[in-house]
Structure 1
Amino acid sequence: MRIRYLLAGAAVFAFAAPAWAQSTPVSFSAEFQTSLEEDLGVREGEVLRTAVTEAIAHELGQRGISSQGLSIDVTIVDAEPNRPTMQQLFDEPSLDSSSISIGGAELRAVLHNASGQTSEVTHRRYNHSLADLNGPASTWTEARRAIRQFAVKVADAYVATPR
Protein backbone atom coordinates (compact mmCIF):
# COMPACT_ATOMS: atom_id res chain seq x y z
CA MET A 1 0.00 0.00 0.00
CA ARG A 2 2.83 2.40 0.84
CA ILE A 3 4.44 1.72 -2.54
CA ARG A 4 1.21 2.68 -4.29
CA TYR A 5 1.23 6.08 -2.54
CA LEU A 6 4.89 6.62 -3.41
CA LEU A 7 4.26 5.77 -7.05
CA ALA A 8 1.22 8.03 -7.13
CA GLY A 9 3.33 10.87 -5.66
CA ALA A 10 6.01 10.32 -8.28
CA ALA A 11 3.40 10.41 -11.04
CA VAL A 12 2.00 13.68 -9.72
CA PHE A 13 5.51 15.16 -9.65
CA ALA A 14 6.18 14.03 -13.21
CA PHE A 15 3.05 15.77 -14.46
CA ALA A 16 3.25 18.80 -12.15
CA ALA A 17 6.91 19.67 -12.70
CA PRO A 18 7.63 22.11 -15.50
CA ALA A 19 9.19 20.55 -18.59
CA TRP A 20 12.47 22.42 -18.02
CA ALA A 21 12.86 20.83 -14.58
CA GLN A 22 12.80 17.38 -16.13
CA SER A 23 15.45 18.37 -18.65
CA THR A 24 17.87 20.18 -16.30
CA PRO A 25 21.21 18.62 -17.21
CA VAL A 26 22.92 17.08 -14.19
CA SER A 27 26.40 15.76 -14.89
CA PHE A 28 29.22 14.43 -12.74
CA SER A 29 32.80 15.63 -12.43
CA ALA A 30 35.32 13.20 -13.93
CA GLU A 31 36.57 12.26 -10.47
CA PHE A 32 33.07 11.58 -9.14
CA GLN A 33 32.15 9.59 -12.25
CA THR A 34 35.20 7.40 -11.57
CA SER A 35 34.13 7.03 -7.94
CA LEU A 36 30.66 5.94 -9.07
CA GLU A 37 32.07 3.39 -11.50
CA GLU A 38 34.77 1.98 -9.23
CA ASP A 39 33.37 2.27 -5.71
CA LEU A 40 29.89 3.64 -5.07
CA GLY A 41 28.00 2.07 -7.97
CA VAL A 42 26.61 3.71 -11.10
CA ARG A 43 23.06 3.31 -9.74
CA GLU A 44 23.88 5.84 -7.01
CA GLY A 45 24.54 8.49 -9.65
CA GLU A 46 20.94 8.26 -10.81
CA VAL A 47 19.72 8.49 -7.21
CA LEU A 48 21.69 11.71 -6.74
CA ARG A 49 20.76 13.10 -10.17
CA THR A 50 17.07 12.64 -9.33
CA ALA A 51 17.53 14.26 -5.92
CA VAL A 52 19.15 17.33 -7.51
CA THR A 53 16.53 17.70 -10.22
CA GLU A 54 13.65 17.34 -7.76
CA ALA A 55 15.19 19.74 -5.22
CA ILE A 56 15.77 22.46 -7.82
CA ALA A 57 12.29 21.99 -9.29
CA HIS A 58 10.82 22.22 -5.78
CA GLU A 59 12.67 25.43 -4.89
CA LEU A 60 11.86 27.11 -8.19
CA GLY A 61 8.25 25.97 -7.89
CA GLN A 62 8.03 27.41 -4.37
CA ARG A 63 8.95 30.78 -5.86
CA GLY A 64 6.56 30.46 -8.81
CA ILE A 65 9.45 30.77 -11.25
CA SER A 66 9.09 30.03 -14.93
CA SER A 67 12.13 29.18 -17.01
CA GLN A 68 11.67 31.63 -19.84
CA GLY A 69 15.06 32.50 -21.26
CA LEU A 70 17.14 30.79 -18.60
CA SER A 71 18.75 27.36 -18.41
CA ILE A 72 20.61 25.62 -15.60
CA ASP A 73 23.49 23.15 -15.97
CA VAL A 74 24.36 21.28 -12.78
CA THR A 75 27.49 19.30 -11.93
CA ILE A 76 27.78 17.00 -8.94
CA VAL A 77 31.44 17.53 -8.13
CA ASP A 78 31.55 15.02 -5.27
CA ALA A 79 29.30 13.20 -2.82
CA GLU A 80 30.03 10.97 0.15
CA PRO A 81 27.43 8.56 1.56
CA ASN A 82 26.60 8.23 5.25
CA ARG A 83 26.09 4.49 4.91
CA PRO A 84 27.64 1.97 2.52
CA THR A 85 26.01 1.86 -0.91
CA MET A 86 24.62 -1.37 -2.33
CA GLN A 87 27.68 -1.70 -4.57
CA GLN A 88 30.05 -1.21 -1.64
CA LEU A 89 28.21 -3.87 0.35
CA PHE A 90 28.38 -6.23 -2.62
CA ASP A 91 32.08 -5.56 -3.24
CA GLU A 92 33.06 -5.78 0.43
CA PRO A 93 30.89 -8.39 2.22
CA SER A 94 32.57 -7.62 5.55
CA LEU A 95 30.99 -4.14 5.58
CA ASP A 96 28.02 -3.71 7.85
CA SER A 97 25.00 -1.96 6.34
CA SER A 98 24.47 -0.15 9.65
CA SER A 99 27.92 1.46 9.51
CA ILE A 100 27.74 5.24 9.65
CA SER A 101 30.25 7.73 8.34
CA ILE A 102 30.39 11.44 7.69
CA GLY A 103 28.88 12.45 4.37
CA GLY A 104 27.94 15.38 2.21
CA ALA A 105 28.25 16.78 -1.28
CA GLU A 106 29.77 19.48 -3.44
CA LEU A 107 27.76 20.86 -6.36
CA ARG A 108 28.05 23.53 -9.02
CA ALA A 109 25.48 25.14 -11.32
CA VAL A 110 25.85 27.49 -14.24
CA LEU A 111 22.81 29.59 -15.10
CA HIS A 112 22.56 30.90 -18.67
CA ASN A 113 20.13 33.65 -19.64
CA ALA A 114 18.77 34.41 -23.11
CA SER A 115 21.32 37.17 -23.73
CA GLY A 116 24.26 34.85 -23.10
CA GLN A 117 25.12 36.01 -19.59
CA THR A 118 26.08 33.32 -17.10
CA SER A 119 26.27 33.11 -13.35
CA GLU A 120 27.68 30.32 -11.24
CA VAL A 121 26.46 28.82 -8.00
CA THR A 122 28.59 26.53 -5.87
CA HIS A 123 27.83 24.75 -2.65
CA ARG A 124 29.87 22.41 -0.49
CA ARG A 125 28.67 20.79 2.72
CA TYR A 126 30.17 17.82 4.54
CA ASN A 127 29.84 16.71 8.12
CA HIS A 128 32.84 17.37 10.31
CA SER A 129 31.98 14.56 12.70
CA LEU A 130 29.29 11.98 13.35
CA ALA A 131 27.84 14.34 15.97
CA ASP A 132 26.72 16.57 13.06
CA LEU A 133 24.18 13.97 11.94
CA ASN A 134 20.65 14.99 12.76
CA GLY A 135 18.46 11.91 13.15
CA PRO A 136 18.94 8.46 11.63
CA ALA A 137 21.20 8.33 8.60
CA SER A 138 20.29 6.75 5.29
CA THR A 139 22.80 6.23 2.50
CA TRP A 140 22.67 9.84 1.27
CA THR A 141 21.29 11.80 4.26
CA GLU A 142 23.94 14.52 4.32
CA ALA A 143 24.33 14.64 0.55
CA ARG A 144 20.58 15.25 0.27
CA ARG A 145 20.85 18.01 2.87
CA ALA A 146 23.64 19.61 0.81
CA ILE A 147 21.51 19.22 -2.34
CA ARG A 148 18.53 20.97 -0.72
CA GLN A 149 20.76 23.85 0.43
CA PHE A 150 22.28 24.05 -3.05
CA ALA A 151 18.81 24.16 -4.62
CA VAL A 152 17.92 27.18 -2.46
CA LYS A 153 21.08 28.95 -3.68
CA VAL A 154 20.24 28.08 -7.30
CA ALA A 155 16.70 29.44 -6.95
CA ASP A 156 18.02 32.62 -5.32
CA ALA A 157 20.52 33.10 -8.17
CA TYR A 158 17.78 32.38 -10.70
CA VAL A 159 15.64 35.16 -9.21
CA ALA A 160 18.62 37.55 -9.28
CA THR A 161 19.60 36.78 -12.89
CA PRO A 162 18.20 39.12 -15.54
CA ARG A 163 16.09 37.42 -18.18
Structure 2
Amino acid sequence: MRTFALAAAALLMSSSAALAAPASVTVDLSPKMQAKAHKTYGVKEVANLADELRKDVLRELTKTGAYDGARVELTLVDAQPNRPTFKQLGDTPGLSYDSFGIGGAEIAGRAIAPDGTVTPLAYKWYETDIRFARANWTWSDATWTFDRFAGQLSRGRALASR
Protein backbone atom coordinates (compact mmCIF):
# COMPACT_ATOMS: atom_id res chain seq x y z
CA MET A 1 0.00 0.00 0.00
CA ARG A 2 2.81 2.37 0.85
CA THR A 3 4.53 1.71 -2.49
CA PHE A 4 1.28 2.53 -4.27
CA ALA A 5 1.00 5.86 -2.43
CA LEU A 6 4.60 6.76 -3.32
CA ALA A 7 4.05 5.82 -6.96
CA ALA A 8 0.85 7.87 -7.11
CA ALA A 9 2.61 10.87 -5.56
CA ALA A 10 5.48 10.58 -8.05
CA LEU A 11 3.00 10.35 -10.92
CA LEU A 12 1.16 13.45 -9.73
CA MET A 13 4.39 15.41 -9.38
CA SER A 14 5.61 14.42 -12.83
CA SER A 15 2.28 15.20 -14.50
CA SER A 16 2.04 18.63 -12.87
CA ALA A 17 5.56 19.45 -14.05
CA ALA A 18 4.48 18.63 -17.61
CA LEU A 19 1.61 21.12 -17.50
CA ALA A 20 2.22 24.54 -18.99
CA ALA A 21 2.70 27.44 -16.65
CA PRO A 22 -0.40 29.53 -15.96
CA ALA A 23 -0.87 32.66 -17.97
CA SER A 24 0.78 35.86 -16.82
CA VAL A 25 -1.65 38.74 -16.47
CA THR A 26 -0.82 42.44 -16.46
CA VAL A 27 -3.25 45.35 -16.19
CA ASP A 28 -2.53 48.94 -17.18
CA LEU A 29 -4.76 51.98 -17.02
CA SER A 30 -5.86 53.89 -20.11
CA PRO A 31 -4.98 57.60 -20.20
CA LYS A 32 -8.69 58.33 -19.67
CA MET A 33 -8.77 56.13 -16.55
CA GLN A 34 -5.52 57.63 -15.23
CA ALA A 35 -7.03 61.10 -15.55
CA LYS A 36 -10.19 59.99 -13.73
CA ALA A 37 -8.03 58.43 -11.00
CA HIS A 38 -6.16 61.69 -10.38
CA LYS A 39 -9.06 64.07 -10.77
CA THR A 40 -12.14 62.19 -9.58
CA TYR A 41 -11.82 58.70 -8.05
CA GLY A 42 -8.48 58.61 -6.26
CA VAL A 43 -5.24 57.02 -7.45
CA LYS A 44 -5.07 54.34 -4.75
CA GLU A 45 -8.67 53.29 -5.28
CA VAL A 46 -8.20 52.88 -9.05
CA ALA A 47 -4.90 51.02 -8.53
CA ASN A 48 -6.73 48.60 -6.22
CA LEU A 49 -9.44 48.18 -8.85
CA ALA A 50 -6.87 47.34 -11.54
CA ASP A 51 -5.24 44.83 -9.16
CA GLU A 52 -8.65 43.26 -8.56
CA LEU A 53 -9.06 42.77 -12.33
CA ARG A 54 -5.61 41.17 -12.55
CA LYS A 55 -6.31 38.79 -9.64
CA ASP A 56 -9.75 37.80 -10.97
CA VAL A 57 -8.43 36.96 -14.43
CA LEU A 58 -5.37 35.10 -13.09
CA ARG A 59 -7.51 33.10 -10.64
CA GLU A 60 -9.96 31.99 -13.33
CA LEU A 61 -7.26 31.18 -15.90
CA THR A 62 -5.35 29.14 -13.32
CA LYS A 63 -8.49 27.12 -12.51
CA THR A 64 -9.14 26.05 -16.09
CA GLY A 65 -5.73 26.14 -17.73
CA ALA A 66 -7.05 28.29 -20.57
CA TYR A 67 -4.31 30.39 -22.16
CA ASP A 68 -1.60 28.35 -20.40
CA GLY A 69 1.80 29.85 -21.04
CA ALA A 70 0.25 32.94 -22.62
CA ARG A 71 0.72 36.58 -21.66
CA VAL A 72 -2.55 38.38 -21.09
CA GLU A 73 -2.08 42.15 -21.32
CA LEU A 74 -5.15 44.10 -20.27
CA THR A 75 -6.04 47.77 -20.08
CA LEU A 76 -8.71 49.08 -17.77
CA VAL A 77 -10.19 51.53 -20.25
CA ASP A 78 -12.92 52.91 -18.00
CA ALA A 79 -14.79 52.16 -14.80
CA GLN A 80 -17.72 53.79 -13.11
CA PRO A 81 -18.42 53.30 -9.39
CA ASN A 82 -21.82 52.57 -7.89
CA ARG A 83 -21.14 54.61 -4.79
CA PRO A 84 -18.89 57.63 -4.22
CA THR A 85 -15.19 56.91 -3.69
CA PHE A 86 -13.34 58.29 -0.67
CA LYS A 87 -11.86 61.04 -2.84
CA GLN A 88 -15.28 62.03 -4.15
CA LEU A 89 -16.66 62.11 -0.61
CA GLY A 90 -13.79 64.34 0.49
CA ASP A 91 -14.01 66.63 -2.52
CA THR A 92 -17.79 67.14 -2.44
CA PRO A 93 -19.30 68.40 0.82
CA GLY A 94 -22.75 66.98 1.43
CA LEU A 95 -22.18 63.88 -0.70
CA SER A 96 -23.15 60.71 1.15
CA TYR A 97 -21.93 57.14 0.85
CA ASP A 98 -25.63 56.25 0.80
CA SER A 99 -25.78 57.79 -2.69
CA PHE A 100 -25.65 55.19 -5.44
CA GLY A 101 -25.96 54.89 -9.17
CA ILE A 102 -25.24 52.65 -12.09
CA GLY A 103 -21.69 51.42 -12.62
CA GLY A 104 -19.64 49.14 -14.80
CA ALA A 105 -16.34 48.85 -16.61
CA GLU A 106 -14.63 48.53 -19.97
CA ILE A 107 -11.61 46.27 -20.56
CA ALA A 108 -9.40 45.94 -23.64
CA GLY A 109 -6.24 44.00 -24.28
CA ARG A 110 -4.71 41.00 -25.93
CA ALA A 111 -3.60 37.46 -25.21
CA ILE A 112 -0.22 36.49 -26.64
CA ALA A 113 0.20 32.73 -26.99
CA PRO A 114 3.62 31.09 -26.51
CA ASP A 115 3.84 30.69 -30.30
CA GLY A 116 3.34 34.45 -30.77
CA THR A 117 -0.30 34.35 -31.87
CA VAL A 118 -2.09 37.50 -30.71
CA THR A 119 -5.78 37.39 -29.78
CA PRO A 120 -7.44 40.78 -29.21
CA LEU A 121 -9.69 41.01 -26.17
CA ALA A 122 -12.38 43.58 -25.40
CA TYR A 123 -15.29 43.59 -22.99
CA LYS A 124 -17.52 46.20 -21.45
CA TRP A 125 -20.63 46.19 -19.38
CA TYR A 126 -22.47 49.00 -17.64
CA GLU A 127 -25.73 48.61 -15.78
CA THR A 128 -28.53 50.39 -17.62
CA ASP A 129 -31.26 50.31 -15.00
CA ILE A 130 -30.84 51.82 -11.53
CA ARG A 131 -33.22 49.19 -10.12
CA PHE A 132 -30.69 46.46 -10.89
CA ALA A 133 -27.52 48.29 -9.87
CA ARG A 134 -25.37 46.08 -7.67
CA ALA A 135 -24.71 48.92 -5.25
CA ASN A 136 -23.44 46.86 -2.33
CA TRP A 137 -20.13 48.70 -2.33
CA THR A 138 -18.26 51.34 -4.31
CA TRP A 139 -17.22 49.22 -7.31
CA SER A 140 -19.94 46.52 -7.30
CA ASP A 141 -20.86 46.64 -11.01
CA ALA A 142 -17.23 47.04 -12.08
CA THR A 143 -16.11 43.94 -10.16
CA TRP A 144 -19.12 42.05 -11.49
CA THR A 145 -17.89 42.98 -14.97
CA PHE A 146 -14.39 41.70 -14.08
CA ASP A 147 -15.77 38.40 -12.80
CA ARG A 148 -17.86 37.87 -15.91
CA PHE A 149 -14.96 38.76 -18.21
CA ALA A 150 -12.58 36.46 -16.31
CA GLY A 151 -15.04 33.58 -16.33
CA GLN A 152 -15.67 33.78 -20.04
CA LEU A 153 -11.99 34.18 -20.81
CA SER A 154 -11.16 31.14 -18.68
CA ARG A 155 -13.55 29.07 -20.75
CA GLY A 156 -11.39 29.87 -23.76
CA ARG A 157 -13.61 32.51 -25.27
CA ALA A 158 -11.90 35.34 -27.08
CA LEU A 159 -14.23 38.14 -26.20
CA ALA A 160 -15.47 40.78 -28.56
CA SER A 161 -16.80 44.05 -27.24
CA ARG A 162 -20.27 43.63 -25.75
Cα separation, 2, equivalents of 1:48 and 1:103: 13
Structure 1: runs of 5 or more not aligned: 1-18
Question: Match of 2:14?
Answer: none
1:115 Cα deviation after fit: 2.3
Cα separation, 2, equivalents of 1:113 and 1:66: 7
What letter is aligned with 2:138? T
Question: Match of 1:25?
Answer: 26
TM-score (norm 2): 0.77
- Higher Rg: 2
- Between the aligned residues of both structures, percent identity stands at 29
Contact map agreement 2:82 2:133 (CA 8 A) in 1: no
What letter is aligned with 1:71? R
Question: Match of 2:81?
Answer: 81
1:20 Cα deviation after fit: 6.2
Contact map agreement 1:122 1:150 (CA 8 A) in 2: no
Question: Match of 2:150?
Answer: 151
Contact map agreement 2:106 2:124 (CA 8 A) in 1: yes
Question: Match of 2:105?
Answer: 105
Question: Match of 1:95?
Answer: 95
Label 1:20 to 1:44 Cα distance change in 2 as closer, same or farther (>3 A): farther
Cα deviation 1:119-162 (Å, max 9, x = unaligned): 0121111111211224x520000000001111123223479xxx
Contact map agreement 2:22 2:62 (CA 8 A) in 1: no
Number of residue equivalences: 138
Contact map agreement 1:60 1:155 (CA 8 A) in 2: yes
TM-score (norm 1): 0.76
Question: Match of 1:62?
Answer: 63
Cα separation, 2, equivalents of 1:149 and 1:158: 12
Cα separation, 1, equivalents of 2:54 and 2:150: 9
Contact map agreement 1:121 1:153 (CA 8 A) in 2: no
Cα separation, 1, equivalents of 2:122 and 2:153: 9
